[in-house]
Amino acid sequence: GDSVTQMEGPVTLSEEAFLTINCTYTATGYPSLFWYVQYPGEGLQLLLKATKADDKGSNKGFEATYRKETTSFHLEKGSVQVSDSAVYFCALSEGSARQLTFGSGTQLTVLP
Amino acid sequence: DVKVTQSSRYLVKRTGEKVFLECVQDMDHENMFWYRQDPGLGLRLIYFSYDVKMKEKGDIPEGYSVSREKKERFSLILESASTNQTSMYLCASRSAGGVSNQPQHFGDGTRLSIL
């Protein structure tokens, strides 16, 4: 079945550091890929998505590129802020499936 | 913007009680979902509904049931609450359209404690 693997957390960075959170997936076809963010005490918010190979999703300075050859969708940001501290989830949805398959989440803490 | 509203942010109930968690969305979405979120386990799908009165089991349906009598409302029911159902519960909705690129939109969650 489909699966998503994220890098283990927690990740702690200083403000203005470069961020990468790795995400790889296993799917039988051509999934759509998503990054969600969960701020403390809140539900999940869609951060960005990509629906086909080589698509780049971007939002709020975050980017991720759909790499079919490496089955990856790594999240990057050039300069993180304290306000980016949250849990980040990678997820996929495939074909006519209505549900998402989530990774386990990566806790990010940004220190001033 | 899509608004998914869960009726309670925090709830405390006792073992053996019947517990209702309510979720309402305002975007006429066909699909609705209930997840639970536990440390180290990520999000796990309990049930989903792809239209009114339609439901399907997710990965962990045991001990739960659901109700979807109206399109905008999806209820999760704990038939007889137990301490291992203490968790954060998240509701989500999604437009159907039959394609996989429609994102899910989440509520703020209900933190349920069973004593």
pLDDT on residue A8: 80
Answer whether A74's CB lies under 8 Å from A64's CB: yes
Tokens at residue B58, please? 């997710």
Cβ-Cβ contacts under 8 Å, A102 against chain B: 42-43
The CA-based angle B108-B63-A101, given to 5 degrees, is 50
Query: Closest-CA residue in chain A for B57?
Result: A99
The encoded tokens of residue A110 equal 């940004």
**Shortest distance, CA A92 to any CA of chain B (angstroms):** 9
Distance of CA A49 to the CA centre of its chain: 9
With a pLDDT cut of 70, the percent of chain B lying above it is 97
Q: What is the pLDDT of residues B70-79, one digit of tens each?
A: 999 999 999 9
What pLDDT is stored for residue A110 in this prediction? 97
CB contact under 8 A, B106 and A43: yes
Kindly determine whether residue A95 and residue B96, on different chains, have CB atoms separated by under 8 Å: no
Selected residues 35-94 of chain A with any CB under 8 Å from a CB in chain B: 36, 41-46, 49, 51, 89, 93-94
Determine the pLDDT at residue A97: 63
Angstroms from B73 CA to nearest CA on chain A: 18
* pLDDT higher at B39 or A37: A37
* A40-56: pLDDT as tens digits: 888 999 999 999 899 99
The minimal CB distance from B42 to the residues A45, A46, A105 is found for A105
